């Protein structure tokens, strides 16, 4: 294998050439960066100029009367409504012997915005549960000088529960029969739902606009799966329990001397009236 001599001079010249090219490239990039920076500064100046003009325009349009810009009138310019009338006559026509001032400042009193009342106050009717927190350090030898009360609004989610009516069966003496308590009345005779369940379903549907299928989806997540047909039958049968209330309301409304109702577009609505 032949030993070749290394030409260090050539390598040095190549290294210098490469370094010079990199410096030129870096210098070009710096110049380009300077040009972009100057362009950005010019654009920021233009933006600042237009923003200042916009602020002035907004102040003229929406600002208070006293803050609006006053237009300066040249003293040599004649008034459109007093052409040919001497100043002395203008003063007499004014009625008070004095000429009106050229500028009139109108001050408009605006109603001050009421300041906020701070944090929302919680109703006193809500049940309070007190949680006492003691310092982590020892309080031995200390004297209580007061207390700091912080109220946090809590909510307990609704839950299903089962009421069990347990009736003991008693056998009468001498075989006279069996004695047992009587079940209380229910909204649906021999039905599973209690009046509270039917009331909640009715209020959610007709007061808060919660469709029945969404209610059933919520109940299933609470662990109670109710078929849609069953829930519909529960509502229809539950309405029968408030039918006397409907009849009473109807009687009260019809007993009034004057009724105002919405017009029915049906042409046969007024026949026989």
Q: Give pLDDT, residue 255.
A: 93
In a domain, 227, yes or no: yes
Higher per-residue pLDDT: 98 or 189: 189
Lowest mean pLDDT among 39-48, 92-101, 105-114: 92-101
User: In the structure encoding, which two tokens stand for residue 193, read together?
Assistant: 């739902």
In a domain, 207, yes or no: yes
Share of the chain above pLDDT 90, in %: 41
Q: Give pLDDT, residue 156.
A: 86
In a domain, 139, yes or no: no
In a domain, 196, yes or no: yes
Total number of domains constituting the chain: 2
Higher per-residue pLDDT: 79 or 138: 138
Rounded (5°) CA angle 245-249-250: 115
pLDDT per residue over 90-100, tens digit each? 555 555 544 44
In a domain, 172, yes or no: no
Own/partner pairs, 63-72, CB within 8 angstroms, 24+ separation: 64/107, 64/108, 64/110, 65/105, 65/106, 65/107, 65/108, 66/105, 66/106, 66/107, 70/103
In a domain, 177, yes or no: no
Asked whether the whole model's pTM tops 0.85, one would answer no
In a domain, 123, yes or no: no
Spell out a b/e string for 80-105, using b for 16 or more CB atoms within 10 Å of the CB, else e.
Answer: eeeeeeeeeeeeeeeeeeeeeeeeee
**pLDDT exceeds cutoff 60 at 271:** no
Structural element, H or E, at residue 251: helix 243-254
Higher per-residue pLDDT: 107 or 126: 126
Higher per-residue pLDDT: 89 or 51: 51
Q: Give pLDDT, residue 213.
A: 94
In a domain, 261, yes or no: no
Reduced to 3 states (helix: H, G, I; strand: E, B; else coil), residue 18 is helix
Higher per-residue pLDDT: 17 or 215: 215
Range of the domain at 192: 187-255
* Residue 118 to residue 260: CA distance in whole angstroms: 44
pLDDT per residue over 115-157, tens digit each? 555 678 889 999 999 999 999 999 888 999 999 999 999 998 8
């Amino acid at each position: 294998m032949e030993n070749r001599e290394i030409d260090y001079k050539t390598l040095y010249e190549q290294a210098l050439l490469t370094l010079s090219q990199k410096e030129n490239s870096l210098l070009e990039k710096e110049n380009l960066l300077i040009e972009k920076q100057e362009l950005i500064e010019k654009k920021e100046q233009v933006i600042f100029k237009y923003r200042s003009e916009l602020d002035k325009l907004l102040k003229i349009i929406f600002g208070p009367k006293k803050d609006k810009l006053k237009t300066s009138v040249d003293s040599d310019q004649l008034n459109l409504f007093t052409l040919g009338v001497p100043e002395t006559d203008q003063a007499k026509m004014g009625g008070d012997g004095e000429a009106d001032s050229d500028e009139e400042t109108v001050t408009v009193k605006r109603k001050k915005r009421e300041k906020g009342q701070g944090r929302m106050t919680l109703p006193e009717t809500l049940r309070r549960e007190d949680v006492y927190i003691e310092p982590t350090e020892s309080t031995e030898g200390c004297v209580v000088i007061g207390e700091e009360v912080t109220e946090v609004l809590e909510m307990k989610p609704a839950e299903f529960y089962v009421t069990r009516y347990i009736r003991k069966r008693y056998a009468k003496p001498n075989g006279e029969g069996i004695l047992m308590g009587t079940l209380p009345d229910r909204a649906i005779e021999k039905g599973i739902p209690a009046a509270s369940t039917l009331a909640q379903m009715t209020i959610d549907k007709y007061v808060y606009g919660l469709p029945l299928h969404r209610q059933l989806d919520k109940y299933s997540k609470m662990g109670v799966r109710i078929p849609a047909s069953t829930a519909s039958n529960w509502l229809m049968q539950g309405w029968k329990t408030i039918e006397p209330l409907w009849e009473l309301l109807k009687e009260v409304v019809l007993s009034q001397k004057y009724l105002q109702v919405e017009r029915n577009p049906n042409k046969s609505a007024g026949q026989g009236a």
